Structure 1
Amino acid sequence: MGRKTVAPLSVKEVIKKAKTPGFHAVGGTAGLYLKVTDEGARSWLLRYSFNGKRRDMGLGSFDDVTLEAARTKAQEWRGKAKTGIDPIAARRQTAATDKADAAKGTTFAECAQAFISMKGTEWKNLKHRQQWENTLTTYAYPSIGALPVGQVDTDKVLAVLTQPVKVLGAHYPLWNAKTETATRLRGRIENILDWAAAKPREYRSGDNPARWAGHLENSLPDPNRIRTVKNHAALPHKELGLFMTRLVKIDGMGSRALEFAILTAARSGEVRGATWSEIDFDAAVWTVPAKRMKGGIEHRVPLSGRAIQLLMRTPRYEGTDLIFPGMLNQPLSDMSLTAVLRRMADKGLVSAGLTVHGFRSTFRTWVSDTERSGDAAERALAHKPPTKLAQAYDRTDMFEPRRKLMNEWANFCDLAVLEAARTSPPVWTPP
């Protein structure tokens, strides 16, 4: 006797059966059933034989797949079974292939953003997230951000960690010049690659090329033994508080100009030629004209509250628009600010050899060490993008990010002064 053929049920008939728990043959295609559990869950099921064994294959939810679509799917899979292809195995292989193809296109930057979003719920401090993003954006994304994460290997990680960075007018490997930043960067890349390799993602396989123990430790110097690249012409930012405490006690136009230069990270010539007409107190902006800028382009400097206070305390002199006039209402000489540092060095208040320009390096190092925006810092220093192509595409002056950065710098200077006053006894009072 042949197998009993089930007459195709209509949609209404199937809906009626969907109310009763059990396996309901719906006809139209051999082996197609509607499965209804005791809890009321409903789904389509294809029952077929392969290599002499009965197999059940799910075809989707009753609520998501129509009767017509379920019959079409069942016919397609039964057709594969007749040609010697196991439908369940074939579907698994298709899913694995699709997953592998998707993984091939998942970039390092996409994985990093997903990892940061996931971990962001654990990080109580928003600043921690910003530090992650700033470090990766500045040092990792330019070379490996758009790269499929599965292609990030040891050579590419080493290229990121040893990329040349400019310090004191010369180029050094990041790992040597900014060891603390590079060490954090390596750990962050390692975490992201671990996340990308974990189930159910499996965007990459194999060992983690960013791990330190037993791997990169054989290719990079021990970060605890690296002799840091130091600039004897620049003051370490950790010593800035004590320096500012002493500077504000020194009277004179050169001292105030130097203080203003430090707060604005401006060049000596930009400050010495500053005029009251360049200051917009309402907007808290100092506009330096192109003729006084090294790059020949007008530069807007956001003024922190601390910088505004300094200007408000500075008297205006008749016969000149200069903020910091010298003798006969002429601009201060290029040695005026340097002379302040030399007199302080003569009294043992600072190390000999400090330069006015070095405070711009102090500011830039503080930005790097605290993992703030390097792009905003470069614009605050009025540095041009490194190439003509970059200049053509990069036309924003990042004014609002710079305003935030300069306020944070001023706050750091104030806090450093308070900390220095708390921990350092007074060693000198000017006559």
Structure 2
Amino acid sequence: MPKIATELSALQVKRIARPGLHAVGGVAGLMLQVSRTGSRSWILRAMVGGKRRDIGLGGAGVSLAEARQRAREARAEIWAGVDPVAERAARRRALTAAQAVPTFDECARLFLASKRSEFRSAKHAKQWTTTLAEYASPVFGKLPVSEVDLPHVLHALEPIWTTKTETASRLRGRIEAVLAWATVAKHRRGDNPARWKGHLDAVLPKPTKVRTVRHHRALPHQALPEFMADLRQREGAAARALEFAILTAARSGEVRGATWDEIDLKSNTWIIPSDRMKGGKEHRVPLTPAAVALLNAIPKRGQFVFAAPRDGQLSDMSLSAVLRRMNVDATVHGMRSTFRDWAGETTAFPRETIEHALAHRLKDRAEAAYARGSHFEKRRKLMEAWARYCAMPTAIGTVTEIGKLRKAQ
């Protein structure tokens, strides 16, 4: 049992200047340590596990009363069988480890940087960043990634699961991908709380059960020839871009981003690179004489085929504006549905040829494996038949000659 020293006052302690250890009393073993340079610190000398230990209680900034309180707490821990020094070291290691674990936001940034080359385009990469920043980051972005669990994921998903189902479904997959990366990088352990099968599917309704399918408004194919005759009377790059989009059954973004170096007039082919395609695969579009004539009539002024007034790319609303001015209740994308309806209802071209013309991936894997080619020559005949239909003077009383189309195939 340590000898109980005389309890010194704060003023008496302040006057101690001689280097060495000085008992200050109040708690057995409490010492003031004064160094040769005059620095001061508090030490508790006690027996821990049969060995004498000097336990640091703080420096000069710790008052005498606070030092005595810390000494009492340390002695209480020793009495309870705890080594204060070992416990303090363990807490320090745990704090250091917690600080070393990156947050979910940091992991998302690192994951996106590692996968950037896999994205179809800069726009696709931005969609990932925007979705995570808008819906996941406010909920658990600042949390260490090791702490992200089911309640956090549900908190982000549930508010939009039934109102923005497509966005929510993509968000879930993106959260799962970031957490999977963090697990591989050894920043977290255990199952992925954003996984669907056998986990979230038990607490959230299937997306297909709550998603509202929104179809793009399409022009009836019977009305298309009359519409095309009206469209050809319109001037401007947007009108020509819309006409070209219809003749090629292409998407608005593919047409607006078309550059002259993608056009091969020797083979009458438009080669759209993979990074501009929704499916991430190069698409070759056969150009009909009508499409080639349209291109030849356009003056070349810059890299874009359908250039905006200031030589940049047309905006995503420019083609829609043409339809509004023509008082047509349809969307640009809906014109692809018009083509699909015409081809499926009035021609004998194979379904896979029509789907390839639209740059659609076949859902049936067996069918997709069988139809490995792009049906390019069949597609050329299909698009020529489509161009002839678009050029008909009127849709009233028109009958498509299916027999001739069948012979052409």
Q: Which category describes the TM-score, using the shorter chain as reference length?
A: 0.3 to 0.5
The normalised TM-score by structure 2 is 0.43
The normalised TM-score by structure 1 is 0.41
